[in-house]
Structure 1
Amino acid sequence: MIRPSPKARPKRPRSGVLTVISLLMIGSAIIRVGLEAGPALARGTEPEQNPEKTPPENIATPADLQVLLTALLRREDELNRREAAILDMEKAQEIAKRAIDERLDALLSAEKTLRETLALADKAAETDLTRLTDVYQNMKPKDAAALFETMDPVFAAGFLSRMPPDAAAGVMAGLSPEAAYTISVVMAGRNASAPVE
């Protein structure tokens, strides 16, 4: 098929189609503005039925805000009182701790002093017992026996156990059989409960 050359084609009027499309678009815009602007204009021109609008339910009224503020202030006061009480308790505990520490230091110092005093007293008592034992063992056995006869058996047994065996034997020989037996039982029983090993 042979195409006619462009020069040979007849010219059509193009302005008619474009005019129709433009008119359709303008009409569509007018309809759209009419549909959307109508209700907006109607809302703007209606008189308000209730000039004092009630607030929505989720917005608090001034009375509600006052109640809330009062409750918050009470809570703050309560928290402040509790904090003050806790601080007072902490101060009291600190004072008590210091007093306990001071008393403990005083007790430790007193215990040390008491130990030293007891050590001195034990040393002095030991020295006194040693001297007294020396006195008894240097006495004549007959005189020492008369003295031991009047002593408490436990007390007498203590001195006799500290003496050398020959001096203790001389004193025991001068005692009455009853006194010698009692002192011997006390001396024998002293170490009976001591562990063997």
Structure 2
Amino acid sequence: MKRIFSRIRFLPLTIFAATLMLTVKIGDIWDGFDGHINGTIQVSEAIAQPAEEDAKPAAKDGQPAAGEKTAEQAVPAALKDEPQGQISKLITNDPTLLTPAEIDLLQQLAERRQVLESREQEFEIRTGLLAAAESRIDKKVEELKVLRETISGLIKTFDAQQDAKLLSLVKIYENMKPKEAARIFEALEMDTLLEVAERMKERKLAPIMAKMDPEKARDMTVELSRLRQLPPVGQQAGG
């Protein structure tokens, strides 16, 4: 009985002691964690205060803080200088900034440009000369057309006059006696004789040819036959 009683009283004591020890341990852990946090905050504040003091003059003066690099300072010098040199060459066109190859290329381009300009000038001169020649040719063509029309008109006038003269002769020969007309026909040139005979009426021409020299009359007959077989002059020209 005593053993059971002693066990019952000893168990609560053991639980109480263990709980008390656990409470002490938790308090020590919390105190250590709280001190660590407070120390960290104090250190951060101590570091932040000098940084703020250094940043205020820099912001006031408009200059970056010591130890910091601007974007311009961070660019390598080689990368800064090379584009500036190229831009300087493009802006100033300074020949001293060009390489020998670039100078040679520029000289070749200048020579090529001179050649092209010379060819263009020569082409313009030739074009002008050709236009002037074409203008003169057109003018000559117009003059020739006018001259042709003038000559054609003169020929028509001359032919009309000749026809009038021949018709007058034809009437004269038709009204003459055949023997007298035959004597005149024998003295005429064959071309003139044919022109007159072509325009005479057959009944008037036959008595005259009968009185002519037989050989002359035969030659005139052959030529008249040949002329009558030929097409008219207008058809010959058209054919």
Quick one: which amino acid aligns to residue 122 of structure 2? A
Answer whether contact 1:133 1:159 (CA < 8 A) is retained.
yes
Deviations 1:36-72 (A, max 9, x none): xxxxxxxxxxxxxxxxxxxxxxxx9611111111111
- Counterpart position of 1:180: 217
Answer whether contact 2:166 2:195 (CA < 8 A) is retained.
no
Alignment of 1:117-132 (within 5 A): 117-132=154-169
Q: Which consecutive residues of structure 1, in runs of 5 or more, have no partner in the other structure?
A: 1-12, 16-59
Q: Percent identity?
A: 25
Quick one: which amino acid aligns to residue 127 of structure 1? A
- Counterpart position of 1:95: 132
- In terms of fraction of residues, the more helix-rich structure is 2
- Counterpart position of 2:188: 151
Q: Which consecutive residues of structure 2, in runs of 5 or more, have no partner in the other structure?
A: 1-28, 34-96, 233-239
Quick one: which amino acid aligns to residue 121 of structure 1? F
Answer whether contact 2:174 2:205 (CA < 8 A) is retained.
yes
The partner residue of 1:109 within 125, 132, 146 is: 146
Q: Secondary structure at the match of 1:191?
A: helix
Report the Cα offset of residue 155 of structure 1.
3.0
Alignment of 1:20-35 (within 5 A): none
Report the Cα offset of residue 193 of structure 1.
4.8
- Counterpart position of 2:91: none
- The higher-RCO structure (CA 8 Å, 6+ apart) is 1
Cα distance change on mapping 1:125 and 1:154 into 2, 3 Å = closer
1:164 maps onto 2:201 in alignment: yes
Answer whether contact 1:153 1:179 (CA < 8 A) is retained.
no
**Please, which moves more after superposition, 157-166 or 103-112?**
157-166
TM-score of the superposed pair, with normalisation by structure 2: 0.53
Q: How many pairs does the alignment contain?
A: 139
1:63 maps onto 2:100 in alignment: yes
Quick one: which amino acid aligns to residue 139 of structure 1? M
Quick one: which amino acid aligns to residue 134 of structure 1? K
Answer whether contact 1:145 1:174 (CA < 8 A) is retained.
yes
TM-score of the superposed pair, with normalisation by structure 1: 0.64
Report the Cα offset of residue 187 of structure 1.
1.3
Structure 1 residue runs of 4+, over 4 Å off? none
User: Counterparts of 1:165 and 1:100 in 2: how far apart (Å)?
Assistant: 53
Root mean square deviation, CA, Å: 2.3
- Counterpart position of 1:37: none
Cα distance change on mapping 1:193 and 1:104 into 2, 3 Å = closer
